[in-house]
A and B are shown apart, each in its own frame.
Chain A
Amino acid sequence: MLRLRAFLLVTLLGTCGLAWGQGSGRCELPESLSVQISRLHAGYSVITANALRKSDRSRYRADHGPSCPGFVKLDFYGSALPTYGLALAKREDKNVYAKLLVATQVEKAANKWNVVELDSASVTAAPVIWAEAPGEYKDVHGEKVIKAKHSVLLFVEYESWGIVYAWNGTEIQKVWVSD
């Protein structure tokens, strides 16, 4: 009996350790979305904690815990539909390319997703994303201001640049909160 308990304990700890060690457990997309992203953005993958630089990973973990740095659920459009922000990246030789997407499930039964590409760029290191509350966001150089009615999406390369994206009902607005 004691042996059985020990075996179960070791098995349980081992499984938890594996999931944490992989660092991508929280980056698992709904399967239908994953298929669509793979088809539309071949070569790119969702940014996981393991893809971040060590210092960026520590910073992200301190602020966001075990969340996925490339995948976040948010109410971007103010609709009742399931909506996710996604940060993808691919490496070619020494270059890293990143994309920012917003995916909305338009037909639950058919698992159809409307995927919009908000931005794409050559980057120095893998960026991260997270959601912020509606409100006022001001350009870092002090000129432009956007007033967001719904949740906004942050796209950030730590210690370098950061952009807020918001839907104002007719178009997507963006403002640089870090440069």
Chain B
Amino acid sequence: MLKSKAILSLLGLALLGYYGAASARYVQSDPIGLEGGVNTYVYVANNPLIYVDFEGLYKYADPSIPLVTDPRMNQFLLCLDSCTGNEQTLTATTNGKHADPGHASGTSVDIRPTGTPSKQFFCCSGNCDAPYVLDERTRKTRFGTGPHFHIQLAPPFNPNTNSIPPNCRPGQC
């Protein structure tokens, strides 16, 4: 009896498209489809067993951008999506060319500033436990380098350039 119930449950999941009996794992791709990038399994870092992105559907600006590998960063991005009510777009994650060790270690990301008012973005970042956000929308040279927000979870931080308001504490979202 129990065995038949288990079979029926698996059959139900298979009919819903969530479970692949052959691979014995969840196989559904990102419900936002190709809007989230060419690889619709990117939302779980190509491995459905590592991350479950049920709430937020943050996306990558380009398929060439390395996937978020740090669990704390993944948690932050899911929280940010939920807090802002917008799907955030990552323009950089890990990159050997980045100056701060945060990018190399996966604890820094760059986000395209679209869809969310900046004040809300900065406050939500603080609410979601990011200690440091750098506003990189203004041009530092004659020509722009591409406006973005730089999020950093690991030190060093410069308090003079941090855009997170002091009243935006973790867990207040």
Known: A122-B96, A142-B160, A179-B134. A164 touches B143 (CB 8 A): no
A159 and B158 contact, CB distance less than 8 A: no
B18 CB to nearest A CB, Å: 30
Interface mask (A148-176 → B, CB under 8 Å = 1, otherwise 0): 00000010111111101000000000001
The number of inter-chain residue pairs (CB within 8 angstroms) is 105
C-alpha spacing A164/B161, complex, angstroms: 19
B64 and A162 contact, CB distance less than 8 A: no
B65 at interface, CB cutoff 8 A: yes
Q: Can you give 23 A-B contacts (C-beta < 8 A)?
A: A63-B143, A124-B92, A133-B142, A137-B140, A140-B140, A140-B161, A141-B161, A142-B161, A154-B141, A157-B92, A158-B91, A158-B145, A159-B92, A159-B148, A160-B97, A161-B92, A161-B95, A161-B98, A161-B145, A176-B99, A177-B145, A179-B134, A179-B136
Residues in B lying within 8 Å of A, measured CB to CB: 61-62, 64-66, 91-92, 95-100, 103, 110, 112, 134, 136, 140-148, 150, 158, 160-161
Q: Which residues of A contact B61 (CB under 8 A)?
A: 55, 159
A159 and B146 contact, CB distance less than 8 A: yes
C-alpha spacing A120/B5, complex, angstroms: 60
